[in-house]
Amino acid sequence: MPEIEIGIGKSGRRAYGFDDIAIVPSRRTRDPEDVSIGWEIDAYRFELPLLASAMDGVVSPRTAIEIGRLGGLGVLNLEGLWTRYDDPEPILEEIAGLDDTTATKRMQELYAEPIREELIRARIAEIKAAGVVTAASLTPQRTVQFYKTVLESGVDLFVIQGTVVSAEHVSTRAEPLNLKRFIADLDVPVIVGGCATYQAALHLMRTGAAGLLVGVGPGQACTTRGVLGVGVPMATAIADAAGARRDYLDESGGRYVHVIADGGMRTGGDIAKAIACGADAVMIGSPLARAVESPGRGYHWGMATFHPDLPRGARVRTGVAGTLKEILVGPAPVNDGSMNLFGALRTSMATTGYSNLKEFQKVEVMVAPSLQTEGKSLQRGQGIGMGSARG
C-alpha cells in the first residue's frame, strides 16, 4: 500500500476504521436459517463468535455463565474486583455512583486492594460448576505470579492481555516473560493480545498462541490513543493480522491461529465488518455493559482505567438497554444496530450469500466513508479514511 506524505521527513500508510468501509453485496443471497455463525478454537466450539471483554463492568462469574449458555465465551478479569474482594457488589455500587471528577482517583484506591489467590480459585470454580467453557485473563506483568493458580483451578482457555503485548519485550531491570517458552509449557490453549500490525501479529503467532487479540486504542472505555498517541484503526489492523495468519499458515505447515477483533465495535454492522476484514471472532465490552445483568450498572471501564500512575481509560456511562439475550441474539426493540448483534451478523452473511464465517472473510469490501465520518473529516481538514479511535 503506498504511503502518504505527512510532511517533509515523515510518511505513513492510510488506515481505515469500520466507518470507512462497507460490505459489498454479491450475486447470491441466502436464507438466514441456513447460515452458521459458530466457530471453534482448539477443542471448543461456540455458537456465537463472541468473547466478552475481561472488564469488571462487563463480566462477572454470573454473566460469564449466562454468556456461555447463550453460546459465547465470557472472559473473567483475574486482576479485577472479583479477585480482590469477597463481595464486590458494594464496590460496584459505589463506582456507579461516583462523580466524574473523582471517579478515576477513587477507582485507583479501590483497585489497590491486593489480588487473592483463593478468590481466583473460587471465581473460576463458580463458572466451571455451571458447565460452561471457562476463560480468564491476566496481564503479562501478573502472569508468572498467578498462572499456576489459574491452571490448577481448571481454566479451559487462558488469556494474556494488555494494551500492547509483544513477543519481544526488552528490559534492563527484570527478566521479561518469554511467551514462546511459556506457552509451550502449558496444557491449555492461550489467547494473547493486543496487537495491531502485521509484524507484531506474525511474531505473536510464532509463540504458539491459539488465538490473537487484535486492537490497540479503539474501544469506548480506552483513551490509549489520546494519552499515548498509540493506536491503529480497526479495519486495517484486522486485515493486516489476517494477512499474517495466512503467511504463518504457510510458514508453519498448516497451523491456523485465530484472529479475534478486540474493541471498537458497537453495532452488528461493526461486527460483520470485523469478520469481513478477516476476524474469526470478536471481543466486545461496551455493548454488553448495557445489559441488565452486567455488573457495571450501566457503566463501563477498561483494565487500565485504574492504573496507579498513568490511567489510560475512562469510566463511560453506557446506560441499560436490555437483557444479554436481547443484546446478543434479540429480539431487538431498537433500530440502531446496538441489539441483536449476532442476528445482524447472520443477516449480513445471508444478504451477501455466505454460509459460514470462513467464507464470509472473503466477501468484497469497499472504501466508503459514512456521511458522518466524511463530515467530521472535512470539518477537521484531515481528509477521509483515518478511521476511529477510543478517544
Q: Which of 222, 225, 245, 290 is catalytic?
A: 222
What mean pLDDT comes out for the span 351-361?
97
pLDDT at 381 over 70: no
N-term to C-term CA, the chain? 27
pLDDT of 20 reads 95
pLDDT at 175 over 80: no
Higher model confidence: residue 176 or residue 148?
A: 148
pLDDT of 222 reads 52
What mean pLDDT comes out for the span 354-369?
96
DSSP 126-142: HHHHTTS--EEEE-HHH
What mean pLDDT comes out for the span 176-204?
91
pLDDT at 166 over 90: no
Q: Which of 13, 69, 246, 317 is catalytic?
A: 317
Instruction: Band the pLDDT of 154: cuts 50, 70, 90.
Output: very high
Query: How high is the mean pLDDT of the chain?
Result: 89
pLDDT of 387 reads 31
Buried b (16+ CB within 10 A) or exposed e, 23-36: beeeeeebeeeebe
pLDDT at 126 over 90: yes
Cis amide leading into 114 (omega within 30): no
Q: Provide, rounded to the nearest whole percent, the portion of the chain with pLDDT above 90.
A: 76
pLDDT of 190 reads 97
What mean pLDDT comes out for the span 133-142?
94
CA atoms of 136 and 318, how far apart (whole Å): 24
CA atoms of 255 and 143, how far apart (whole Å): 25
pLDDT of 170 reads 46
Return the residue matching grid coordinates 484472529: 259
CA atoms of 53 and 243, how far apart (whole Å): 24
CATH of domain 42-320: 3.20.20.70
pLDDT at 148 over 70: yes
The gap from C-alpha 97 to its chain's centroid, in whole angstroms, comes to 26
pLDDT at 151 over 60: yes
Cis amide leading into 343 (omega within 30): no
pLDDT of 376 reads 46
Cell of 377: 473529516
| Other CB atoms within 10 A of residue 81 CB | 23
**In a 3-state reduction of DSSP, which class is residue 157?**
strand
Q: Provide, rounded to the nearest whole percent, the portion of the chain with pLDDT above 70.
A: 86
CA atoms of 32 and 14, how far apart (whole Å): 35
pLDDT of 227 reads 65
Instruction: Band the pLDDT of 306: cuts 50, 70, 90.
Output: low
The tens digit of pLDDT for each residue in 93-125 reads: 999 999 988 898 999 999 999 999 999 999 999
What mean pLDDT comes out for the span 304-327?
83
Determine whether 173 is an active site residue: no
Find, among 214, 256, 208, 206, the residue nearest to 232 by Cα.
Answer: 214
The tens digit of pLDDT for each residue in 25-66 reads: 999 999 999 999 999 999 999 999 999 999 999 999 999 999
Determine whether 222 is an active site residue: yes
Domain spans of the chain, in order of start: 42-320
CA atoms of 390 and 254, how far apart (whole Å): 35
CA atoms of 195 and 15, how far apart (whole Å): 15
| Other CB atoms within 10 A of residue 180 CB | 14
How long is the chain?
391
